[in-house]
Structure 1
Amino acid sequence: MRKQLQRLLQERIELYTSDNQERSERKSHLKNELMRSRAAEIVRVNAAGKVHSRKKEDSDTILTYQVHLQYLLKQDDSFYIEEEMEERQARFRDGYLVDECELLPSFESEEEPLKCDTGAERLAYKYERMKAVQYAERWWNEFNPVYYKFTDDCTNYISQCLHAGGIPMWGAPNKSKGWWIRGKSWSYTWTTAHSLYYLLKAGTSIRTKQVESARELNLGDIICIDFEGDGRFDHNLIVTAKDQDGMPLVNAHTMNSRHRYWSYEDSTRYTPNIVYKFFKILDGG
């Protein structure tokens, strides 16, 4: 299986460095299109794989594995590294690959009301955005054992980053109120994208300023994404760097990513109806 995994990883590298517009995989096409629109290019791709599980189905062998992709990108005279994790599954029959695909995340782990109780007095805190960024960098591809581990972890990760930046929890033990986590219990706003969006929009306990463009954001600020444009927000990102043009590069969980371009145009979830909301995180009090 080691040789088979090495072959699959080589195919990943060839896919993302190819400029072939006839390729059937939408994600690689989107990645190449995004690079062109940014006047950037993929100089090199490294791929490392780790097998999660192996099972037999009749004469087939099903291999579930994780790929850690590192892109060396060149934009004008600057270079930087973007990192991304993919969960994939391959089917082998008589030693030959017959099918291979990406296992797409759902981005949400539980249902929550469309609106939570975001009412609170203004909390006093100083937002130390570099501590939030340092936390985001440290845990972008791992789970902090201090917190409960979620399968769909995007909002839990962002909440942890904000808390590391000095924003206090409040509202426990009411799941529909406040912003908090304790052991195996938590508020909707801590763990679900749509509820965190409402909390940031309210700008009370977490003081925010909503701005019109990604360019206005600084390190430690937050982007909320509604992929379908249906009014329900699906994903959250934290700004951890800027590119040569001053545009945000972001970290995220669920599909773990580091220094990814903010617009997510290379995501398989991307649609022409996508909606972004941009929040500057301010000091409280």
Structure 2
Amino acid sequence: MKWLSELKSHLKKTGEFWVDKAYDRYHVITDAERGAIIRKKQQLQERKAEIVKSIVNGRLTGIHKFKDEKKVNYISHLKWLIKQKNHFYVEEHLEERQAIFEDGKLIMDRIKVSEASNNEADSKSMTMLAKRDKGFKYNRLRAVKYADQWWNSFNPEFQGFDVDCTNYVSQCIYAGGAPMKGKYNKTSGWWYEGKSWSYSWTVANALRLYLNQSNNHLGAVAVEKPEQLVPGDVICYDFEGDGKWDHTTFVTEKDAYGMPLVNAHTTNSRHRYWSYEDSTAWTSNIRYNFFHFPD
């Protein structure tokens, strides 16, 4: 099958691309993704980091054919070994992608799911609850261990979503021993039960609103700088800078200069640099909120 051989060759070249010095090699990706790739390479230089090894694998999930056009859905698993000073770490991304072929020739390879939230649930009416439960002691190690265990899959004990970033982060916080409060009002507190949950559990905008309140029962405190965060903390993203918070990540590691590396869902990522300049959802208007959980 010509198209399959071409897709395999494309993935191999993609792996090679990340360890060379070029910014732009291929014309089969979207302009938005090309911009994200350029920003990532520039960012690596600014961080005095380099990708010393890159591996890209693909797993087919569906094929749709119409006349001379074939759309191939697949999961791309990217692994980068990154060196920064004398420190090495592995960054990984899982992306749902679609390759488009005409007469067996690859003409487009694109990301299927945006990292920007598409959940339009009204979260402005969130009801805040009492201050932090004094019996709650946050177990960062357990939270980070959970984040690494489930970064690239769904825990079957919870509902999974196409836009799953906040649901995943909530599970990580809960794994660290955070108590739920507010059942069974979707606009109240932070909780999950069976097939029901609060907006703050699953909606990026709602969780940010909840954490930003001084009386949130989780005890989260907003800090000014990303370097003030430690593994087990949370970052919220407003990609457009329009006041609607789109994305949530969970800090699992720090780089050689003490900056956060994060895990996330939607585009499943592990040890990704916190600023998300390598995302197609990124804009120059992006805003961040940083939340620290006291021990």
TM-score (norm 2): 0.91
Distance (whole Å) between structure 2 residues aligned to residue 22 and residue 166 of structure 1: 45
- Give the match for residue 101 of structure 1: 110
Which runs of 5 or more residues in structure 2 are unaligned?
A: 26-30
8 A Cα contact 1:109 1:151, kept in partner: no
Distance (whole Å) between structure 1 residues aligned to residue 126 and residue 20 of structure 2: 46
Asked whether 1:128 is paired with 2:130, we answer: no
Aligned mate of 1:254, from 261, 266, 275: 266
8 A Cα contact 1:85 1:257, kept in partner: yes
Aligned mate of 1:47, from 53, 56, 78: 56
CA spacing shift, 1:54–1:201, aligned 2, 3 Å: same
Alignment of 1:143-182 (within 5 A): 143-182=154-193
Distance (whole Å) between structure 1 residues aligned to residue 109 and residue 161 of structure 2: 26
- Give the match for residue 274 of structure 1: 286
Distance (whole Å) between structure 2 residues aligned to residue 50 and residue 112 of structure 1: 36
Deviation at 1:178, TM superposition (A): 1.3
- Give the match for residue 28 of structure 2: none
8 A Cα contact 1:120 1:205, kept in partner: yes
Please identify, of 32-41 and 92-101, the stretch whose mean Cα deviation from structure 2 is larger: 92-101
8 A Cα contact 2:129 2:182, kept in partner: no
Describe the superposition over 1:201-245 as per-residue Cα deviations: whole angstroms up to 9, x where unpaired: 114211022111011111101111111111111111111011111
8 A Cα contact 1:220 1:240, kept in partner: yes
8 A Cα contact 1:225 1:275, kept in partner: yes
Distance (whole Å) between structure 1 residues aligned to residue 282 and residue 120 of structure 2: 22
Structure 1 SS opposite 2:212 = helix
Distance (whole Å) between structure 1 residues aligned to residue 132 and residue 254 of structure 2: 30
Distance (whole Å) between structure 2 residues aligned to residue 56 and residue 143 of structure 1: 30
Structure 2 SS opposite 1:202 = coil
Distance (whole Å) between structure 2 residues aligned to residue 121 and residue 220 of structure 1: 20
Sequence identity percentage: 45
Structure 2 SS opposite 1:237 = strand
8 A Cα contact 1:222 1:279, kept in partner: yes
Please identify, of 12-21 and 204-213, the stretch whose mean Cα deviation from structure 2 is larger: 12-21
User: Which amino acid in the other structure matches residue 133 of structure 1?
Assistant: V
Deviation at 1:110, TM superposition (A): 4.4
CA spacing shift, 1:44–1:171, aligned 2, 3 Å: same
8 A Cα contact 1:49 1:65, kept in partner: yes
User: Which amino acid in the other structure matches residue 233 of structure 2?
Assistant: D
Aligned mate of 1:9, from 7, 11, 28: 11
Which runs of 5 or more residues in structure 1 are unaligned?
A: none
Distance (whole Å) between structure 2 residues aligned to residue 18 and residue 51 of structure 1: 27
8 A Cα contact 1:108 1:192, kept in partner: no
8 A Cα contact 2:238 2:246, kept in partner: yes
Describe the superposition over 1:96-151 as per-residue Cα deviations: whole angstroms up to 9, x where unpaired: 21222222324243422324112324323111011100000000001000001111
Distance (whole Å) between structure 1 residues aligned to residue 90 and residue 143 of structure 2: 20
Distance (whole Å) between structure 1 residues aligned to residue 95 and residue 293 of structure 2: 30
User: Which amino acid in the other structure matches residue 70 of structure 1?
Assistant: K
Deviation at 1:198, TM superposition (A): 1.3
Describe the superposition over 1:49-93 as per-residue Cα deviations: whole angstroms up to 9, x where unpaired: 111110111121110111000011111111111001122111122
User: Which amino acid in the other structure matches residue 3 of structure 1?
Assistant: S
How many correspondences in the alignment?
283
- Give the match for residue 233 of structure 1: 245
Deviation at 1:171, TM superposition (A): 1.0
